[in-house]
Structure 1
Amino acid sequence: MIIRLHHIPISRSFRVIWMLEELGLEAEIIEHSIRRGTMYTPEIQGVSPASRAPAVEIDGIPMIESGAILEYLAETHPEAGLGVAIGSPTRARYLQLMHFAETQAAQIEQLNMQHVFLRDPAMASVTTMKLNTKRLQLTMRALEGMLEESGYLLPTGFSAADIMFGLNLRLARYYVHLEDYPKVLAYRDRLIERPAYKAALAKDGEQEIYAQDFYHLPEGA
């Protein structure tokens, strides 16, 4: 399997690197800069029309969307047990979790836009910041209730769904206090101790998104 991955550090493409490490697969990682917009080239747009990471070529097949890539890799490597087969009793829950991870990630993305990426901070909307923070907190509360006795999101143990949320928890801590969600915090700590997570982190590159450890809501919000 020949894999080329267009990657931006601390972005959704980290999920793909982590998944590849869990599967023991090698990839050529082409690192891009979100600040300099290096993915806005005709070559990259041939793989990712919206110039977003991750964009991957697997045996010459272009793919985008981290959830779809993880599902594809899980299905083409069923021996790893990171997906859930059609007909399994946990299939519906697995699919729901894969997509709910993107509901949560969308709130983080909106907060990134308001707190980090606006060139003029005066353009930020306090109402929008407050609303998306609340929505992120609600998804964290939901995640707190979804964790199984296995310590992961499925009763059968670790899966691609955990990789989807693992990236979210790496980013959410810039906007919410994980200590408010003790089961989630313990879950996050369990994920970051996985050897594949640590190997992926070593390949992730230097992030250029966050300039501080936590972004508070403006006073009075």
Structure 2
Amino acid sequence: MKHLKKVLIGLVVASTIIACKNEKGKQNSEPIENNAVLSTEKPGAEDQKIGFQKTLSLQDITFDIKTTGEGSIQQLSIQPKGLELDNQEIVLEIDGEVINAEIEDLNSDGFPEILIYTISAGSGGYGDVIGYSANNGKSLSQIYFPEISENKEAGIGYMGHDEFAIIETTLVRRFPIYKDGDTNNNPTGGTRQIEYKLKDGEASRLFVINKISEY
């Protein structure tokens, strides 16, 4: 009888030791599992590299503008605030980079336009304008900016290297003029300046060339 009791006590002690070891093993393994999960997480949008960032306000409407990503393809984000109906973020993919952004009431209707200037990747730096107009302060609509090739006079000798600026209510574009035989880093034809005015089109607002000058 005594021998049987000793055997039973021994089995209980052994079971307790094994259970403690298993529980300790579980506790030690948990941090490893957590670390494995953390190491495989992908970086969120907030961890992406910001290339350009600017906040502009006019007539109680604000735009937060930023680009994220690396390389020639970037994500452009435009977050409006203060519109009556639609303040949804606008996200675009651009080939190149944003060099500046400006805000102005270009058609003097009491509501702002936002213009974002971009240049393409590469040595040419071909310029473009991404524009949005506030429709009576309620929502945004995109402004059409014409390709320079649409106007024969404007496009002669054009090889990029654009500069943009708003002067009063006019969008001004300047670039060097290239003659036949000019290298990319040595234009010899002077400078062309194009002045654009914002007009109401059939489908949307658009920029129309108002004046072309050279010097």
TM bucket, shorter chain: under 0.3
TM-score, structure 2 as length reference? 0.24
Structure with a larger share of its residues in helix: 1
TM-score, structure 1 as length reference? 0.23
Higher CA-based Rg? 2
